[in-house]
Amino acid sequence: MRIATWNVNSAKQRLPRMMPWLAERKPDVVCLQETKLSDVAFGELFGEPLAALGYEFAHHGEGQWNGVALLSRVGLVDVRPGFPGQPDFGGRSEARAVSATCGGIRVYSLYVPNGRVVGSDHYAYKLDWLDALAADVAAGPAELALCGDMNIAPSDADVFDPAAYVGQTHVTAPERERLAALGLTDVVRKRWPAERVFSYWDYRAGMFHQDLGMRIDLVLTSTSVADRVAAAWVDRAARKGTGPSDHAPVIVDLDEAPDGDIGPVVPPPSNPKRGGRTRLPQAR
């Protein structure tokens, strides 16, 4: 099963990039963020083209800002917009989370608040929002994948220049502590433990061309899901060319779930003709 997450920065503007990408990458489940559409507008724009590719969808939007969606062709059940205890901002609930069960996994599409300025009301909102999310995750099912624009770089390795981010949101200890407190596995970092991997590059000043970015779009899974990861990567090709989002998709491939009937995995017997261990060729 292939799961992808992509902050598209306006689904309406990105439609010419999204549909060919879906046809090429063929993800089974897609988490979208920053659709910037109402539910009605998303359905009008994407309903028919998604159905033609075999996707069901669940969209949770406002219109102007935010907006998240789930696309699936492996089932889409128990759809839930938002999560219990999700805080408001400015007295209004924002469309930043939608979850559903797809292919046996509880999948969340998340657009974590930006935080704007450290110490601001929006920053406090971001931390509260993450606390409430952690409480929901702790109460949730074991097969879990939190996907989306977390607006947090998990470590200094996830920004192009840590010195440039001192005092900025996305890198502060309170944000990182809350990300870690979710208790999930960052499957792209696990797969590429020491590599330079970014998922967002500012549109300005040739940042993408110079690979000056941040890794803030994450797939965080429970251990049972992390153990099935066969591939995990950032699809940088989707950030190239004409009219891209400023974020690239993150793609994760999972092996089939163990069905419980195959019994313990037994290592193959050694070859008796060789009398034990196979030896590597020896250097002279």
Is residue 199 near DNA by the rule CB under 7 A? no
Cα 169 vs. chain centroid, distance in angstroms? 19
Closest CA to 70 of 112, 42, 41: 42
Say how many Å lie between the first and final Cα of the chain, rounded. 47
Q: Please enumerate in sequence order all residues whose Cβ is within 8 A of that of 240, keeping only pairs 6 or more positions apart, or say none.
A: 208
User: Is 5 one of the binding residues for DNA (CB under 7 A)?
Assistant: no
Site size toward DNA, by CB under 7 A: 29
Q: Is residue 204 within the footprint of DNA (CB under 7 A)?
A: yes
The binder of DNA chosen from 27, 81, 103, 113 (CB under 7 A): 113
The token pair that represents 32 in the structure block: 């979208």
Q: Which is nearer to DNA, 35 or 222 (CB)?
A: 35
Q: Report the residue from 13, 93, 223, 270 that binds DNA according to the rule CB under 7 A.
A: 13
Enumerate residues 29-68 that contact DNA by CB under 7 A: 34, 36, 63-65
E strands, the chain, in order? 2-7, 29-33, 56-60, 68-72, 77-81, 97-102, 105-111, 144-149, 185-186, 217-221, 229-234, 250-254
Taking the C-alpha atoms of residue 144 and residue 105, their distance in angstroms, rounded to an integer, is: 6
Here's the x/- map for DNA, 208-237, by CB under 7 A: it reads as ------x-x---------------------
Q: Is 259 a catalytic residue?
A: no
Q: Distance between CA atoms of 178 and 277, rounded to whole angstroms? A: 47
86: contact with DNA by CB under 7 A: no
Choosing from 167, 193, 241, 243, the residue that interacts with DNA (CB under 7 A) is: 243
**Residues 116-175 close enough to bind DNA by CB under 7 A:** 116, 122, 149, 151, 169-170
H helix runs in 144-255, sequence order: 173-181, 187-191, 223-226
Determine if residue 34 is labeled as part of a ligand binding site.
yes
| Closer by beta carbon to DNA, 57 or else 198 | 198
Residue of 73, 76, 68, 132 whose CA lies nearest to 102:
76
Q: Which is nearer to DNA, 57 or 123 (CB)?
A: 123
60 catalytic? Reply is: no
The DSSP result for 135-153, as a single string, is HHHHTS-SSEEEEEE-S--
The active-site residue out of 149, 158, 186, 217 is 149
In terms of CB distance, is 62 or 143 closer to DNA? 62
Q: Is 170 a catalytic residue?
A: no
CB of 13 to DNA, least distance (A): 4
143 is in an annotated binding site: no
Ligand-binding annotation for 158, yes or no, is no
- 209 labelled as ligand-binding? no
Closest among 215, 170, 211 to 189, alpha carbons compared: 215
Cβ atoms of 77 and 52 closer than 8 Å: no
- How far apart are alpha carbons 272 and 85 in whole angstroms? 62
Q: Which residues bind DNA (CB under 7 A)?
A: 7, 9-10, 12-14, 34, 36, 63-65, 113-114, 116, 122, 149, 151, 169-170, 200, 202-205, 214, 216, 243, 246-247
Residue set of the binding site: 7, 34, 149, 151, 246-247
Residues making up the annotated binding site for Mg(2+) are 7, 34, 149, 151, 246-247
Active site residues: 111, 149, 247
